[in-house]
Structure 1
């Protein structure tokens, strides 16, 4: 992203700082949200795996 040359009357620069700050914040929010969703999915899969393993071990024709 090519930035315009900052004008030194203090009008252009703060706007870009604010935009960058909000962009970083949004990016972090997205990353955290994705991480939480992935963790929850993984946790659920792990629980399902334990239930499935128990069922397999309890069944008579267990292949393991």
Structure 2
């Protein structure tokens, strides 16, 4: 994995971890107060998926 992908992978994992820590679990997962954290977690997970897709595409380009 290239350094560029590793940097963004670490950043997305940190964002997801920080937002899991910030959720008020007693209020409920889908409470109005927690929706901003839910959206941030989902965008972080989407970013991780995109990083893996880009990494796999770069591996396919190297094979040719």
**TM-score, length of structure 2 as denominator length:** 0.53
CA distance in structure 2 between the partners assigned to 1:27 and 1:10 by the alignment: 25
Higher helix share: 2
Following TM superposition, the consecutive aligned residue runs of length 4 or more in structure 1 with deviations greater than 3 angstroms are none
For structure 2, the residue ranges without an aligned partner over 5 or more in a row are: 1-16
CA RMSD of aligned residues (A): 2.1
Kindly indicate whether structure 1 or structure 2 has the higher relative contact order, using CA contacts under 8 Å at least 6 residues apart: 2
For structure 1, the residue ranges without an aligned partner over 5 or more in a row are: 44-64
Q: Does 1:4 align with 2:25?
A: no
Matched pairs, number: 42
Q: Deviations over 1:8-40 (max 9, x none)?
A: 3622x1011101100011111110001001111
Change (3 A) 1:5 1:21: closer
**1:4 Cα offset (Å):** 3.0
